[in-house]
Structures are given as structure tokens and as C-alpha cells.
Amino acid sequence: MNSRKVVSLIIFIGGFTLILFGGIYNPYSQPVSLAPGNYVAYSFHMKANETREFVFEYLDVFTIYIANETGYQAAMEDGNFTACYYTASGKYIAIKFTAPKDGDYYVLIANFNTKGDAEITFSYGRKEMENLIILGSLLSVLSLALLLLSIRRDKERPKYDSRCPYCGAPINSSWNYCPRCRYPLGGDRQ
């Protein structure tokens, strides 16, 4: 294997790893543990009209709020959740939330309904992981192009494996005559 092939293999492995990594961690799932009466907030920066999917699961009822900066501050300062964009209670909540404008949005998960601890699984798509998959795909395509180029170069390049015993020019042992001095090599006849 020549260096060009090694480089294309390394690029391919890199690209493939990125695709794998992006695929495994997207959507990203994380466990959220909440004592009764507690809530936790996750912030997401979103562009105007950008949609993100949030999925929440638990055996008991819990509550989800989505707020912008103002709504989040109101909830944190005086426990007033009415300024939130979105409120839902249930055991399984899947939300496709579209940001009305550019800014930070807060996903609040609350355990106001159960007397015990809530172990909620929170899953969401991650933009950076989607970007990893795109980058990985580009690298894989690039590595394939490099490999094809390398194979083509190999075919074009004559293979010297010996030297002419008369003039010392690089030759291939299957040749009949030295291309420089016409010395008979007799490659194929022997």
C-alpha cells in the first residue's frame, strides 16, 4: 500500500467514526432525576423557525414547560410558569417545538405530580451531531475519491523492478528490450 492509499484509508476511518458517533448520540438521551416538587431546566439556542424535537418518558405523570428567556426568568424568580410557551403533563410527551425567533429557549422538566423521585428519560436531537454526520459523509466521499485517484495513478505508472544490465536504466523484468539502449532483456521469453 502506498502512502496515498494509507492517507485515504485514514480519512475513511475518520469519516466513518464521525458518522457512527453522530448516529449513536443523535437523538441524545439523558436520564433526569427529580425529587418531588423539583424541576430542572435545559437551555437550547435556536434560530428563528428552527424546529427541535424533545421526547420525555416516565412511568408516572410529569410536566414539561418550554419558555423563552423572559418566561424562564419569571419561573425561576417567583415560580410563575404561566409565561411559558408550552405546558403539558403526561407520562410520555413528544414535542416538536419551533422557535418563534432567534434566542435561548428553556425546556423545564418538573416533578409536581408524584410523591416519589421521578427518573425521566429526556431525548433530543443535537445539531452538532447532525453536523458530525455531514462532515463524516464528506470525508468518506473524499477518501473514496483519493483511493480511486491513487488506483488510476498506479495503473498509469510503469513498474520498475530491475535495472538494465548494460546501461543501468530502470526497467521492468517482463520487458524484452531496454527502452534506453535497446539491450535485449528477454523477459517474457525466459
Q: Which residues bind Zn ion (CB under 5 A)?
A: 164, 166-167, 169, 178, 180-181, 183
Residue 123 vs 162, nearer CB to Zn ion: 162
Min. distance of Cβ 190 from Zn ion in angstroms? 17
Task: Check if the beta carbon of residue 176 is closer than 8 Å to that of residue 185.
Answer: yes
Min. distance of Cβ 173 from Zn ion in angstroms? 13
Q: Is 157 exposed, middle or buried (0-12, 13-18, 19+ CB in 10 A)?
A: exposed
Residue 75 vs 178, nearer CB to Zn ion: 178
Min. distance of Cβ 156 from Zn ion in angstroms? 23
Runs of H (alpha helix) within 54-166: 69-78, 127-156
Q: What's the CA gap between 190 and 183, in Å, rounded?
A: 15
Residue 23 vs 168, nearer CB to Zn ion: 168
HEC readout, 126-151? CHHHHHHHHHHHHHHHHHHHHHHHHH
Residue 16 vs 177, nearer CB to Zn ion: 177
Min. distance of Cβ 166 from Zn ion in angstroms? 5
Residue 37 vs 168, nearer CB to Zn ion: 168
Min. distance of Cβ 178 from Zn ion in angstroms? 3
